[in-house]
Structure 1
């Protein structure tokens, strides 16, 4: 017989109430709550660059861009996440104050701690969003960007080549890798201790 303590199930309402008062962010998956790890300079800079580029691109249109502190609800997975950057073009999301539900693009910035999860279980949850058209993984340790695009027969993977452009067909958006990685210094990241 196991001596492990039983983890209590947390309702969505309890999660949302706690999150409204919490000093740290938590993600919610099917009754379990997970504290979010902090992010380093490279991670934050890349997410900020992408937010600024996308915000300038969609300005004046129906789409809105969110960064880090906005929750994304994946109802089919009974989950709430905090993507690094995401875009929603659904008018209903504009009126939702604490969590959006119909993202068309989700971007996660990879780190040593999050890469496996972002590529695996988290992407599996995100794929349950009917509106999701593109999932982008941006490495914070080297110049590497990958785009997964929804197709009728599954997901198409494309790595952005060095000297190439990040292209998001759903938003008619393109930018050079230099813009994604502006002000990011990998040499400093390698020599710094967390």
Structure 2
């Protein structure tokens, strides 16, 4: 996460009001506001690949995919985030206008500047969401997907999908995306983590 965009602490109501007037997106975490910086092409392509594939597979069912322009409210830690991709199966979220609160699946595409926060404090915040069943981190440079699935009240199971392992299973939605589909149109040579 970058340096705060503003020095004055906000409460979340003031943040929501202020952000509506801003040309750029800002995340809010415990009274501090952080500007969202532009993403690299590969980041955007991978997030779009995932969102498009999920939208197609979820069509006609109770779950809906959302992209990074929709906020997520994590009330337990007083935060609003913009996950790269979210899926909610909750009718309350489908009726929401400004932000979701009951996602089933959250996906973050990692960047060098956000990876530590996405793995650490943000994941800790996400774990407070009672409806969240799965959290996936997508590392474009390594062609790796780390999927954390809730197995108990305080237990999360990691499933690591690396390079050409075929399919990435999102158990929370009972569906599969191929690793090739996720990384389609990404030319970067994967980093080697095998050794």
Residue 186 of structure 1: SS of its match in structure 2? coil
Shift of 1:155: 0.5
Aligned to 1:118: 118
Indicate whether 1:185 and 2:171 are aligned. Answer: no
Query: How far apart are the structure 2 equivalents of 1:112 and 1:141?
Result: 10
Superposition deviation, residue 93 in structure 1:
0.7
Larger radius of gyration: 1
Residue of structure 1 equivalent to 2:4: none
User: Shift of residue 181 of structure 1?
Assistant: 0.2
Is the helix fraction higher in 1 or 2? 1
Tell me which residue corresponds to 1:22.
Answer: 22
> Are the equivalent residues in 1 in contact too, given 2:166–2:180 (CA < 8 A)?
no
Deviating runs (4+, > 4 A) in structure 1? none
**RMSD of aligned Cα (Å):** 1.7
User: How big is the shift at 1:20?
Assistant: 1.0
Aligned equivalents of 1:23, 1:114: Cα separation in 2: 21
C-alpha deviation, 1:100, in angstroms: 0.5
User: Partner residue of 1:104?
Assistant: 104
Q: So what's the TM-score if we normalise by structure 1?
A: 0.90
CA deviations 1:72-125 (Å, max 9, x no partner) are 001111110000001000001111101000001000001111111110011000
Q: Which 5+ residue runs of structure 1 have no aligned equivalent?
A: 1-6
Q: Which moved more, 1:116-125 or 1:149-158?
A: 149-158
Give the aligned partner of residue 159 of structure 1.
Answer: 160
- Alpha-carbon shift at residue 176 of structure 1 (Å): 1.1
Report if aligned partners of 1:111, 1:141 keep a CA contact under 8 Å in 2: no
Aligned length: 184
Partner of 2:44: 44
Once the two structures are superposed, residues 150-193 of structure 1 have per-residue CA deviations (whole angstroms, 9 ceiling, x without a partner) of 01150001101432311011111101100000000105x99xxx
What's the CA shift for 1:64?
Answer: 1.1
Alignment of 1:82-93 (within 5 A): 82-93=82-93
